[in-house]
Structure 1
Amino acid sequence: MRSALVIGSGLIGTSIALALSGRGVRVHLDDDDADRRRTAAALGAGTETPPDGPVDLAVIAVPPARIAAALAAAQHRGAARGYVDVGSVKGGPRRELAALGGDLTWYLGSHPMAGRERSGPLAATADLFEGRPWVLTPTAETDTEVLNLALELVALCRAVPVVMDADAHDRAVALVSHAPQLLSSLLAARLERADEAAVRLCGQGIRDVTRLAASDPGMWIDILSANPGPVADVLAEVATDLERTVHALRSLESADEAKRETGTAGVETVLRRGNAGRDRVPGKHGTAPARYETIAVFVSDRPGELARIFADAGRAGVNIEDVRMEHATGQQAGLVQLMVEPAATAVLTAALRERGWSLRSP
């Protein structure tokens, strides 16, 4: 691939353009919003100058509701040899393109499974997709040349290609991406009018669960409007579980011992189902989830402290598999939770204590 046209200069489009430009592809930027286009160009994502003729690949990086129209327009003017979109919904745009008379032979739907809570070109990074799954949804109609161009795009962005059926993809992302966004927002909404005393008690748990609630509502309205049925199906199942859990919790308030036992069993069931589901989430590098031990270290909020603790772990010959941070309320300090292989726990614990670190129960 020597040339590409990226239509849409938001987070995903600009990140793709940055990755391609950084690997020697001449990238042309196209966006109805001139400010976003200029910003992306200023970041080094490509040129605002239109291409002289057809490019190798056109990447459509606009909201799902606009994908089909943007694809049809690009095909009508012969913008490229092949066309891919990178929207988060796949079945609908393909059907809409067919209804508009678009050529499905030279089009392939795709979805890089990466993003950030922030949107727009200023949030873009060239390494956004590194090591992340990138779904490709070819059909029997898809020309081999377009599939090869799409695979080259994924490789240049250093992502991992995953081939799926378009509608199966939409059901999958409803479960693992779209419904979690709404559930995070619903829980965070409980904090809007909560007492200040309650809000001051917020810890890492509520921060983890509500992280997605910081996302741009406008972007998510576009996404959810393009995949409402599968998302509603997931939420309907969650609503059924919620109703049962509420009933179980009410039973725990009863003076009747039998009802309390029933309530306990109901709550335990949902917690154990959660354990089982969480155990299926892939671990590092997409492998089976690993069981790590956690070492919690009290760290002051000073420059260089994190670098020092990682260096001390390295000197002890221990690899940090994962890390989390929990900031202390009202203090310039917090806990750094280091996840390590169980066999390395004793070694790292002794090494950190020897170097003066204060360890806490995680």
Structure 2
Amino acid sequence: MSEPLTNTRALQIAKRPPRTRLDVWPRRTPRRWMMRGIFALPYVIFALVVSALGATESPNATLVARATRIDWDRADAQWLGDIFPPISTLLAGFVPGGALSLSIIGALSAGVFLQKLIEIMVQRRFARSTIVILMMALALNPLFFYNATQNYSAFLGLLLFGLGLSHIVRFVTWGNTESGFRVGLYFMVAVLTDVTALVYVTAAALSAPFLRHRREGAKGARRANALVILYPAASALVSLAVLNSLFLGRPFAGATQSAFTGFGDRLVIVGEFFSTVEGVIVIAPLISAWLIALIVRRPGAIIISTLVFGAFIVGFALGLLPSGSTGNIFMSLTLLAIALIPTARTRNGTVMISSVGVFQLLIGWATALTSTAFALWASQMFVG
């Protein structure tokens, strides 16, 4: 007769495997979607309140009005130029509900993006305090609410740009090949969503050689990386430009038709803008990005952030960037600073990064409170 099994050893509970820098966060899919919904909720409420208050003039409303003027029964070269950028124009033309629907879609996109942004920071082992401060600086800013719910095309372009930046670091610095293809696709979709993305996507791709490379010393590695990043977006744009040239006699049409028109006059406007309080405050996010670069000892990031900032100025001078885009500059440079913070940091470095995050939070509110375009939009609701 066998003895009963009386194993008195303590039960060993399997430990969760250590998190890697590519693991999703939270690990469970239901929790990820719940977090996305929680993040999206304030922006959905904001969109509904703004609509109820009767704010009718917004970039979303302008996009919907442009989409309604397009003859969707055509499929010629002129039509291809008219719908550029195609992704946002197609959404505005076929999603029912007009500008309010775009606002809700933007709010839901914000929830997904903020969850992905925290995931990136968790993967790089940011301190919790740093994550909270940086998230507050970006997500609790009036300009983020405005762009998410009132300027869908620019907002989606910036989201794709931010995600692409994180994959640039993975591709160039970590040597992750999959991330190289992802960043190329992110940037391609960005330029097909918002014409403004042309400038900062190009700047980001050209700045890739200034990052610290995993294959340091390999001949042609820097040029190859830049080509992988830029090729999908460049090929899509070149194809469209060739079609326009063949059938319309000009490379630019639709939203890009004003490029290079009035370049000198816009440069004068840029000079006058930087002599105002709003213009001076716009430079502050660039200084924050420089400080982050110095703290994490990545001097190449100074060149990258300067190129991206300069791209916005050139984009306005070329007519690709509308007036009142100070919020776009703030968001892009904040995302750039987050993307360039490395995994390995000292305690003092973490404290200094958090301090810069607090500074960035103040800059964001100062940018919103001095933004002429934001004030004009808000006056629809609060001024009779």
For the aligned pair, the TM-score class normalised by the smaller chain equals under 0.3
Bigger CA radius of gyration? 1
TM (normalized to structure 1)? 0.22
**Which structure has the highest helix share of the two?**
2
Which has a greater percent of strand? 1
Structure having greater relative contact order (Cα 8 Å, sep ≥ 6):
2
